[in-house]
Structure 1
C-alpha cells in the first residue's frame, strides 16, 4: 500500500463516512485473562463516544510506511490452505458474526501480546464502496469500482490517569479528582486484506506498531505465521554496522556523508516526482555512492556480501529507515556535533601533527551556552 491508499482509508473513520456498524472486543488484564467481552453497536453510542472509538481505530493506520506501517505478505500456500489466513478470511467473510472464529482470534492475540498493563482488543469490519477515479484523479461518487471488505484490529493499553485538582464553577469549589482508567492509543494492530491499487489484495496485510524499535514479533508470527519485518531502528543500526565492518580504513567522513547525500537525494527526487509507490533502494544505489568516492573494489564487494547476509539477497529497503534527511550528527566519546544537513560542507576532518581533528568552518553567530562569543586569530 502507498500513502495515498492509506490516507483514503483513514478518511473512512468519520461518523459521516464510516460503514462500521458495531465493534467487537475484549478487555484483558496483564495476566492475559479475559475480564469481559462486548459487541457494541456504534448506533447506541453518543456522538462523542463514536468519534473516540473511530479515532482509536484510525490511529492504527497512522505513522510512516516502512516504520510504523509494515507490509505483511502471505505465501501462496498460506492463502490456499493456511490456518492463519483462513481465520482472517472467516472473520472478514462473516463480518465478525462467526463466534468460533472471533473467540479463536481473541485467544491467539492474548497468547502473543505482552503488555505491562491491562488492554483492549478492538475488532471491526467495514465494507467500502470504492469510488471510481477518473484519469485526472477526480473521484466519481456515483460510480464504484468494487466493494472493499476488510477487518481492522486495534490493541489499546488501558492506562491510569494521575490524581489532579479540579475546580467546579457551579459549586465555586475545588475538588480532588481520583485516578481513573482510560483507553490509550493503540500499541499495535493490523488491516486485512491490504488495499493495493485501491483494490482488495488477499495476499497482503498492513501491520501497525507504535514502537518502531519493537514490532512485537510474537504477534506477527501468531497472526500471519511469517517472519517479522526488521524494525526500522534495527535496519538503521545494521546498515551502519555493514558500512563500518566492510569499508575498514576507507569508512571516512566523506564516504559516509556521500552515502547519506545519495540516499537523501533519491528521497527528494521521489518526493518531487509525486510517485505514489513508496521509494525503496538496494545495494546498487549505495555502491554508486561508494564508487563515486573512490572506495576500492575489494571493499565494495565486501559491502555487497555483508548487505546480502544482513538483509537478504537483493533486499529492497526504505531509505527513510537507513538515514535521517533532517539530521547529521557527529559523535565522539566527549563531544556531539549536530549539523544542518544542507550545510554538511562546513565540516571537514584533518590529521594535524599526528592528532585527529574535526574542523567546523564558522561564518557568524557563534554562541556558547546562549552567550555570543568571538573567535580570535
Structure 2
C-alpha cells in the first residue's frame, strides 16, 4: 500500500463513512489471562464512544511507510494452504462472526504479544465500495469498481491513571478522582488484506508498530508466519556504522553532510514528483552517492561487504530509515547542535592552534536562554 491508499482507508474510520457494525474485543491482564471479552454493536454505543473506538482503530494506520507501517507478503503456498492465512480469511469472510476463528486468533495474540501489563485486543470488519477513479484522478462515488472487505486489528496497552483533583459539574465542586484503567494508543496491529492498487490483495498485509525500535517479531511470526525486516531504528544505526567503518579516517563532517544532503534531496524530489510508490534505497543507489562524495575503490569494496553483512545485498531500505530529512545534528559529549537541514553550510569544522573546533556562523537573532545577545 502506498500513502494515498493508506489515507483512503484511514478516511473510512468515521461513523458516517464506515460499514463497521460491531467491534470484537478481548481484555488481557498482566498474567496473560483473559479478563473479559465483548462484541459491541456500534448502533448501541453513544456517538462519543463510537468516535473513540474508530479513532483508536484509525491510529493503527498511522506513521511512516517502511518505519511504522510495514508491508508483509505471503508466499503462494501460504495463500493456497496454510493455517495462518486460513485463519485470517475465516475472520474476514465471516465478518468476525466465526467464534472458533476469533477464539483462536485471540489465543495466538496472547501467546505471542510481548507486552507488559494489561492490554486490549480489538478486531473490526469493514466493507468498502471502492469508488471508480479515472486516470486523471477524478473519483465517481456512484460507480463502484469493487467491494474491499477487510479486517483491522489493534493491540492497545491499558494503563492505570494517577489519582488527581477533578471538577464535578453537577456539584460545582472539586473532589479527588480515583485511579482508573484507560486504553492507550495501539502498540501494534494490522490490516488484512492489503489495499494495493485500490484493490484486494490477499497476498499481502500491512503491519503496524508504534515504536520504530521494537517491531514485535514474535507476534508477526505467530500470526503471519513471516519474518520482519530490521526495525527502523536499527537500520539507521547500522547505516551509521557502515559509513564510519567504510570511510574510516575520511569520515569527516563534510562527507557525512554530503551523504545526508543527497539522500534528503532524493526524498524531496520524490515528494515534488508526487510519485505514489514509496521511495526505496538499494545498495547501488547508496554506492552512487558514496562515489559522488569521492569514496575510493578500496573503501567501496569495504562498503559492499559491510552492506551485505548488515542488510543483505538485495535489500531495499526506506531512505527515512537511514537519515532524518528534517534534522541535522552535530553532537559532542557535552554539546548538541541542531541545524536546519537546508542550512548545513552554517556549520564547519576547523583545527585552530592544534585544537579541534565546530564553528557556527552567527548572524542576527542569536539567543542564550531566550535572551537576545550581541556578539562584539
TM range (shorter): over 0.9
DSSP 3-state at the match of 1:206: strand
> Which residue in the other structure is 2:74 paired with?
74
d(CA) in 2 for partners of 1:25 and 1:373? 58
d(CA) in 2 for partners of 1:169 and 1:105? 43
Q: Which moved more, 1:65-74 or 1:284-293?
A: 284-293
d(CA) in 2 for partners of 1:269 and 1:13? 31
> Which residue in the other structure is 1:365 paired with?
365
> Which residue in the other structure is 2:125 paired with?
125
DSSP 3-state at the match of 1:78: helix
Deviation track 1:297-341 (CA, whole Å, cap 9, x = no partner) reads 110121122112211112111111111112111112222222221
d(CA) in 2 for partners of 1:25 and 1:226? 25
Deviation track 1:21-43 (CA, whole Å, cap 9, x = no partner) reads 11112111111001121122111
> Which residue in the other structure is 1:272 paired with?
272
Is the 8 Å Cα contact of residues 69 and 209 (structure 2) preserved in structure 1? Answer: yes
CA change 1:349–1:227 in 2 (3 A) is: same
d(CA) in 2 for partners of 1:95 and 1:123? 10
> Which residue in the other structure is 1:35 paired with?
35
CA change 1:172–1:358 in 2 (3 A) is: closer
> Which residue in the other structure is 2:149 paired with?
149
d(CA) in 2 for partners of 1:116 and 1:50? 27
d(CA) in 2 for partners of 1:168 and 1:369? 40
> Which residue in the other structure is 1:339 paired with?
339
Return the offset for 1:356.
2.5
2:17 is equivalent to residue 25 of structure 1: no
CA change 1:367–1:172 in 2 (3 A) is: closer
> Which residue in the other structure is 1:306 paired with?
306
**Unaligned residue ranges in structure 2 (runs of 5+):** none
d(CA) in 1 for partners of 2:170 and 2:88? 52
Cα RMSD over matched residues? 1.5
Return the offset for 1:54.
1.0
> Which residue in the other structure is 1:5 paired with?
5
> Which residue in the other structure is 1:103 paired with?
103
DSSP 3-state at the match of 1:71: strand
> Which residue in the other structure is 2:229 paired with?
229
d(CA) in 1 for partners of 2:173 and 2:315? 64
TM-score with structure 1 setting the length: 0.96
> Which residue in the other structure is 1:250 paired with?
250
CA change 1:126–1:252 in 2 (3 A) is: same
Correspondence 1:79-90 to 2 at 5 A: 79-90=79-90
Deviation track 1:263-284 (CA, whole Å, cap 9, x = no partner) reads 0000110110011111111122
Number of equivalences:
376
Return the offset for 1:374.
4.1
d(CA) in 1 for partners of 2:167 and 2:2? 47
TM-score with structure 2 setting the length: 0.96
**Unaligned residue ranges in structure 1 (runs of 5+):** none
Return the offset for 1:91.
1.2
d(CA) in 2 for partners of 1:6 and 1:307? 31
2:154 is equivalent to residue 168 of structure 1: no
2:58 is equivalent to residue 61 of structure 1: no
> Which residue in the other structure is 2:210 paired with?
210
Correspondence 1:291-330 to 2 at 5 A: 291-330=291-330
